Structure 1
């Protein structure tokens, strides 16, 4: 079970732009049917487009921008995002949310004696933990935090076990 994030932001932006364009066309069409002066005159747009050459700078810039926008939308649709639910071992199709997964590992790291704060990041198949301590002597703290995180990983039993990388940040020594 690997639920991926929805692509709601690119889809919403595309829908809003298309809605605005359709609304503008509808309003101009209704204005023309009623005999009123339209917001955008067809003759003005047609003359401006007729006078523009393919070798001019404006079509090249507009075409480049549309091509880049299209590539960005295509890549956001095709490339997978970070999984929102991480699969767990077992006979049942089960998973843990990314947020709760990191929260429980952060709690395990914070319960180690001497740890003031812990920040964890999950990237690909690696957990990076930055541990802050008030101790000046940090001997054994890295191993203790790694042990606590790995014990919690044993309890969680993820389908793909990540490697654990620990960095300890301590104040400067008093001597």
Structure 2
């Protein structure tokens, strides 16, 4: 946002200066006078230049390092068509598949690199059966959605009395 504001102010200054009526949003006459009378080897010029180089390298590094993906790519039959679903939508679809299992409720899904972890509430007497059914249900939904990456399904049952 700061970069956008600086760019906008610079554009206003340049366009108004070219038009013959400088806007003078920023009082830069003292800075311009200082720059006219200062050599490139002055410590102040070198410090400002070094700071700008560091900021530029920071932005370059931020642009090159991949961030967290916002979507889950899907496998399709058409090679020319790219499809994806948001991570939230993907988690919701898998949680709905887990909640479709009898005796399972309030499913919550977390995604890791190649693992889907499903936290599901179930009665204490049916933990093993519900866990296996939830695992199969979520794996089936994964086959329907067809994400590009393979996911291992891990079920963490949370018991309740009943």
Does TM, normalized by the shorter one, top 0.5?
yes
Give the Å deviation of 1:158.
3.3
Q: Which residue of 2 aligns with 1:124?
A: 113
Aligned residue number for residue 133 of structure 2: 144
Deviation track 1:93-146 (CA, whole Å, cap 9, x = no partner) reads 353413443332121011122333122233322222232x26344621332221
Which of residues 100, 108, 114 is equivalent to 1:111? 100
> Is the aligned partner of 1:97 residue 2:46?
no
Stretches of structure 2 that go unaligned for 5 or more consecutive residues are none
Normalized against structure 2, the TM-score is what?
Answer: 0.65
Q: Give the equivalent residue in structure 2 for 1:84.
A: 71
Q: TM-score, normalised by structure 1?
A: 0.61
Contiguous gaps of at least 5 residues in structure 1: 1-11
Q: How far is the alpha carbon of 1:86 from its aligned partner?
A: 1.2
In the aligned structure 1, how far is the partner of 2:123 from the partner of 2:71?
36
Would you say the 8 A contact 2:116–2:152 is kept in 1? yes
Name which of 122, 135, 139 aligns with 2:123. Answer: 135
C-alpha distance 165-37 of structure 1, shift in aligned 2 (>3 A): closer
Q: CA 1:16–1:124 in structure 2 vs 1: closer, same or farther (change >3 Å)?
A: farther
**Structure-2 separation of matches of 1:35 and 1:108:** 63
In structure 2, distance between residues paired with 1:153 and 1:116: 19
Q: Aligned partners of 1:35, 1:88: CA distance in 2, in Å?
A: 55
Partners of 1:121 and 1:15 lie apart in 2 by 35
Aligned partner of residue 124 in structure 1, secondary structure:
coil
